[in-house]
């Protein structure tokens, strides 16, 4: 059976009291949520040192809200799970929460928010949990009402878990139809675990999409291309195991995956003296 929560039950049932408790007691979940929210705030490109009013879509128990508070912002959250919101109120969050289904639209006045963040919520919109649910229509309703609720030049950043390529295409096409422009930023694309998808949507003014973490700048100069070709000719596959070259390559690979790696020094891969 699939391990994706959205395949198991509708969100308002899946996030019951037991699941909600996990989100306040499991330090790993809390850590990950906080990291992803930090990254969302980074991608929002808010004006520096200005307290903003943000919308948290799928705020759940307010873990992401706490990070927003720490960064000096006020927030209003919406979520479909009563149990999660109850926990949020118990945690005495500074923001405010509303019980609402994002597929029914964002119930706020035009131009209310300076930005919107969402951590691990968007993938739920692909579900048709009720007979009346039509995912494409719900996505469009959501994006068009969100577009209205944001102030001009505001951004919306969604961290989410897409299941396949077609979901990504559907998301971006519906967002564009609603008036947004932007796209998907993939952090650490070379790692299975650290890989994270962020949908960055912008409302006004042309700006380049932010750079993903863990992707190196592509050099297009001829010299480097040749050097690479030469190197690959020489090697034909992986370097011999337990050699310095093998070690360096392994460390490089780990760095690309965003894992913690010690820096390369003159001691890296050096032979021990015979005395040892």
Partner 1 sequence: MKLITHNMLTSKCLKGVVTGYPLSINATNINITEVDYNPEFITRIIPKLDWEVLWRAADSIGHSDGLPQTIEPKFEENNEFLKKAHRVLLEVDIEEGNLVCPESGRRFPISKGIPNMLLTEAEVQ
- The residues that touch partner 1, with contacts defined as CB under 8 A, are 50-53, 72, 74, 76, 78, 80, 82, 85-86, 89, 94, 96-101, 104-109, 111-113, 130, 132, 141, 145, 149, 151
Q: Which helix (H) or strand (E) holds 140?
A: helix 135-149
CB nearer to partner 1: give 151 or 172: 151
CB nearer to partner 1: give 146 or 200: 146
Question: What is the nearest approach in angstroms of partner 1 to the Cβ of residue 10?
Answer: 12
Question: What is the nearest approach in angstroms of partner 1 to the Cβ of residue 137?
Answer: 9
Nearest to 138 by CA among 176, 105, 181: 105
224, 226, 232 from 236: Cα distances, Å: 18, 15, 6
* Residues 244 and 269 sit within 8 Å (Cβ to Cβ): yes
* Residue 93 CB-half CA count within 13 A: 28
Residue 167 makes CB contacts below 8 A (sequence gap 6+) with 123, 126
Q: Provide the pairing of β-strand 96-99 with 74-79.
A: parallel
Question: What is the nearest approach in angstroms of partner 1 to the Cβ of residue 66?
Answer: 14
CB nearer to partner 1: give 42 or 104: 104
CB nearer to partner 1: give 100 or 127: 100
Question: What is the nearest approach in angstroms of partner 1 to the Cβ of residue 105?
Answer: 4
CB nearer to partner 1: give 72 or 240: 72
How far apart are the C-alpha atoms of 126 and 103, rounded to whole Å?
A: 10
Question: What is the nearest approach in angstroms of partner 1 to the Cβ of residue 241?
Answer: 58
């Amino acid at each position: 059976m699939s391990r994706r929560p959205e395949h198991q039950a509708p969100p308002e049932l899946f996030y019951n009291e037991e699941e909600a408790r996990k989100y306040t007691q499991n330090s790993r979940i809390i850590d990950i949520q906080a990291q992803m929210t930090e990254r969302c705030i980074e991608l929002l490109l808010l004006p520096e040192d200005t307290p903003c009013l943000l919308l948290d879509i799928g705020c759940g128990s307010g873990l992401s809200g706490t990070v927003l508070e720490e960064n000096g912002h006020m927030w209003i959250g919406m979520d479909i799970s009563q149990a999660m919101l109850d926990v949020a109120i118990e945690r005495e969050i500074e923001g405010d929460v509303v019980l609402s289904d994002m597929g029914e639209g964002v119930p706020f006045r035009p131009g209310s928010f300076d930005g919107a963040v969402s951590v691990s919520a968007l993938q739920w919109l692909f579900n048709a949990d009720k007979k009346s649910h039509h995912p494409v229509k719900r996505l469009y309703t959501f994006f068009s009402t969100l577009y209205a609720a944001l102030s001009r030049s505001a951004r919306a950043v969604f961290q989410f878990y897409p299941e396949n390529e077609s979901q990504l295409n559907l998301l971006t096409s519906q967002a564009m139809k609603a008036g947004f422009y932007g796209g998907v930023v993939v952090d650490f694309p070379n790692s299975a675990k650290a890989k994270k998808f962020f949908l960055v949507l912008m409302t006004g003014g042309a700006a380049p999409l932010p750079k993903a973490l863990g992707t190196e700048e592509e050099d297009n100069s001829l010299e480097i291309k040749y050097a690479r070709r030469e190197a690959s000719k020489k090697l034909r596959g992986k370097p011999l195991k337990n050699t310095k070259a093998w070690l360096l390559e392994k460390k490089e690979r780990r760095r690309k995956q965003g894992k913690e790696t010690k820096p390369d020094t003159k001691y890296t891969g050096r032979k021990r003296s015979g005395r040892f």
